[in-house]
Amino acid sequence: MENTILTNKQTNKQTNKQTAFILYLRAFSVLSILLCHLVQANPSSYVQMTAQFFNIGVELFIIISGFCFGLQGKIDDWKKWYGKRVRRIYIPYELFLLVLFALYFITGNKINIVNWISCVIGIQGATVGVLGADHTWFITAILLCYVITPVLSEISEKLKEQNIYLAVGAGVIPIMLSFIPAIVFHTIGSKICLYVVAFILGKKYREGYRFEKRNFLMYMILFALALGIRMAGRSLFDGSRIYECIIVGYTQCAAAFCIMAIFAVLFYDVGNNKIINRICENSFEVYLYHYMFVVGPVSLMHLTGSWLVNSICVLIVTWGVAVIMRKLAKGLFMGK
């Protein structure tokens, strides 16, 4: 979600062209998240089932963030880096919570102080307990990813060719986390592991690795295979930790990486697009605010008897609020 892409100064112009696909992937991720929550409000159970695919947007956002920071290379000034991340995440996030709290007060919704405090700090984990902010569990995951990034940068620079072992280690850890009774450890921990793998991939990309056109069919087949395994796993192990954590977790991540590779091939060297840039610029705010208009205290999904009309209203209002709040955060606190 964070709009941080491409900062290698020596090869900046060329890198911008070769990584422009990230912008298109980010826009796709935003759309996926919106659809994931909108289809759950559809009266058809078959349409609701598609949410299982659209929620891949979360994994894509994690991958994008890790990949982009891997592209940047070693972080020399940790203090400056952390300060920038805190401003970019916490300022829009706290403004969002302020707006949501005001809506709670106006509509007379019950306020659970403990849940709200954990939300404000950003340590809510997998169970949020604040209507309209249930999706903000992602904040805990991404903040922890940012905490380890400078250290990860140092380690990856020292390991050099051995980074593959770091990636493999991160890829195996979610299996162990799936056996811990408290599901929050797997929910958050698996996203951190995904971030680490994406970071290493970004570093390899900076060093010259590319998603080749000749492998496009393979990416498509692997994507279909991941979906097939997930469907088969659901019929055999639905409701178990094997399915919820291991099968869903790994197939979801594999599918997300395949989507990234597909976009890298399709949009390689395409260049920037003003509309896509605009969407990406406000992507974090769109993520923050859309949910309150879907299931929150000011849900718009019951305005009319048409799911499609209601969904369009949600998209329009979300975009308007996101643009305004982005400008407010940037103008008041973040600088130009």
Residue 233 has pLDDT above 60, yes or no: yes
Q: What pLDDT score does 145 carry?
A: 94
Residue 277 has pLDDT above 70, yes or no: yes
Q: Are 42 and 53 in contact (CB under 8 A)?
A: no
Q: What pLDDT score does 25 carry?
A: 94
What is the pLDDT averaged over residues 277-282? 91
Residue 276 has pLDDT above 60, yes or no: yes
Whole-number Å distance between alpha carbons of 333 and 209: 38
pLDDT tens digits for range 30-51: 999 999 999 999 999 989 988 8
pTM comes to 0.90
- CA dihedral over 311, 313, 316, 321, signed as positive or negative: negative
pLDDT tens digits for range 118-172: 999 988 887 888 989 999 999 999 999 999 999 999 998 888 888 889 999 999 9
Residues 6+ apart with CB under 8 A from 105: none
Exposure string of 186-213, with b = 16+ CB inside 10 Å and e = fewer, is bbbbbbbbbbbbbbbbbbbbbeeeebee
Whole-number Å distance between alpha carbons of 116 and 128: 8
Q: What pLDDT score does 8 carry?
A: 36
Residue 18 has pLDDT above 80, yes or no: no
pLDDT tens digits for range 298-335: 999 999 999 999 999 999 999 999 999 999 988 766 55
Kindly indicate the confidence band of residue 12, based on its pLDDT and cuts at 50, 70 and 90: very low
Q: What pLDDT score does 16 carry?
A: 62
Residue 195 has pLDDT above 70, yes or no: yes
Q: What pLDDT score does 17 carry?
A: 64
Whole-number Å distance between alpha carbons of 25 and 260: 7
pLDDT tens digits for range 79-88: 899 988 888 8
Structure-token pair, residue 60: 């894509």
Q: What pLDDT score does 2 carry?
A: 45
Q: What pLDDT score does 178 carry?
A: 92
Percent of the chain, pLDDT > 70? Answer: 93
Q: What pLDDT score does 118 carry?
A: 92
Kindly indicate the confidence band of residue 7, based on its pLDDT and cuts at 50, 70 and 90: very low
Kindly indicate the confidence band of residue 116, based on its pLDDT and cuts at 50, 70 and 90: very high
**Mean of pLDDT over the chain:** 88
Kindly indicate the confidence band of residue 4, based on its pLDDT and cuts at 50, 70 and 90: very low
Q: What pLDDT score does 62 carry?
A: 95
